[in-house]
Amino acid sequence: MPTGIAIRDPRQQLFDAAERVLLSAGPAALTSRAVTDEAGVAKGVLHRHFADFDAFLADYLIECARRVTDRDERLRARAGQGDLADNLAEALTDFFGSVAQHVLALVTFRDGLRARLRAAGVPGLPVLTEGTRMVVGYLEAERDLGRLPAGFDPELKTLMLVGSTQLAAAGRDDGPPSFSEVRRFVVEALGLG
């Protein structure tokens, strides 16, 4: 890699490369070399912007968690409109088509990453925690609009849906669960059948 060439927004370039590696090859393939090779930059670029690879991964996951906010706003805007099961299945399919399906493995097997996330005050599993809040918020909005029964428990149903989708996504070589698979979870968990 030639030196002296300015890199436009190197942090974002590295984050984008990490996402491509994670989605194409999984968490085991996510190394500093794989990220810098994918980004087309020298390995030193990563270390100029981050203390170490775990610091990079922590910042990357925090950025991914922030992006869930956009999904959250789009889903809540659909409350009261269209088919509830379709809305939720689409959101969950999209969510687990992202890095969300790899977060558990990534955080579980990297002690340094967990320590960095805790030091940054990040609760639970980043991305998955925000995705869970997204679904709870949507279900609360639908309940408040009367499309779900008054006694409906959004938190319990969300755990069922996120857990089912996470388990269906785990260890698959053919990608995340399909819309129809996720819709079936939604219909069964919410009793919409």
Sequence ranges of the domains in the chain: 68-111+125-190
Please tell me the pTM assigned to this model: 0.87
Which pLDDT does position 7 carry in this prediction?
59
> Residue 176 carries which DSSP code?
S
Which pLDDT does position 105 carry in this prediction?
87
Which pLDDT does position 6 carry in this prediction?
53
Which pLDDT does position 123 carry in this prediction?
85
48-73: average pLDDT:
92
CATH topology of domain 68-111+125-190: Tetracycline Repressor; domain 2 (1.10.357)
Q: Is the per-residue pLDDT at 97 higher than 90?
A: no
> Residue 178 carries which DSSP code?
P
Cα 30 to Cα 17: distance, rounded to the nearest angstrom: 10
Residue 97: closest CA among 174, 160, 167, 177: 177
Q: Are 160 and 189 in contact (CB under 8 A)?
A: yes
Least confident of 7-16, 54-63, 167-176: 167-176
Which pLDDT does position 169 carry in this prediction?
84
Q: How confident is the model at residue 1 (pLDDT cuts 50, 70, 90)?
A: very low
Cα 102 to Cα 104: distance, rounded to the nearest angstrom: 6
Task: Provide the strand spans (E) within 45-121.
Answer: none
Q: How confident is the model at residue 8 (pLDDT cuts 50, 70, 90)?
A: confident
Cα 19 to Cα 187: distance, rounded to the nearest angstrom: 31
Q: Are 176 and 97 in contact (CB under 8 A)?
A: yes
Which pLDDT does position 152 carry in this prediction?
95
151-163: average pLDDT:
95
Q: Are 191 and 148 in contact (CB under 8 A)?
A: no
Q: Is the per-residue pLDDT at 47 higher than 50?
A: yes
Place of tokens 């925000």: 130
pLDDT in tens, 101-151: 888 889 988 999 999 999 999 988 899 999 999 999 999 999 999 999 999
Report the mean per-residue pLDDT for the chain: 91
